[in-house]
Amino acid sequence: MTRYIVLGRFQPFHMGHAHLVKSAHDMLSGNDELVLAIGSKQAEWEPNNPWTAEERQAMIQAWADAEGIICSIVAIEDINDPPNWVSHASKTHGLGTLVTTDTATANLYKEAQFMVEEVEMNERERLEGWRIRQTAKMLSTVYDDEAVREVLKASIPGPVIEWLIDSDALFRLSTFETGVYAG
């Protein structure tokens, strides 16, 4: 049995994450297991980390259920100490094979003697988390759910959009300062 591990902040879970998780899922065989590790567990209710770890878990689970993907979802506090990250994180996600698109993370795990499967990024320029959060922020005060679905469907999977709408989880984005002021 092999455990395949996918790390991410998932703020929010978007199409790039879906591509990565599906790639990891395609590697499974037999009794293999897929673990999604939510990083920065403690980060929440701030512009770059608007959703709690529990909310991110719920949006990921909504997507996984819709896709028929069975996985474990765990959350890990960030220690902001890259040299010690792997030993810290592995206490939560366990041992196995890391599946990632991030070279720096791949190198950390390789140095810690983990097996690493690197996946090619899927539309990185368009699917950067900050871009998706900014788009969602623009929609945070739009009260037309169909318009929200139409705009977000290019970057966020449908089940996650539905979770965001049903949980009223976009509205809080309207409360964050942009740092840009006119006048």
Assess whether pLDDT exceeds 60 at residue 178. no
Residue 124: which pLDDT band, with cuts at 50, 70 and 90?
A: low
pLDDT, position 180:
44
* pLDDT tens figures, 50-81: 999 999 999 999 999 999 999 999 999 999 99
pLDDT, position 173:
82
Mean pLDDT across 137-141: 84
Domains (range + CATH), the chain = 3-118 (3.40.50.620), 129-174 (no CATH)
Global pTM value: 0.90
Integer Cα distance of 37 and 33 in angstroms: 13
* HSE-CB for 157 with a 13 A CA cutoff: 22
Structure tokens at 41: 């567990």
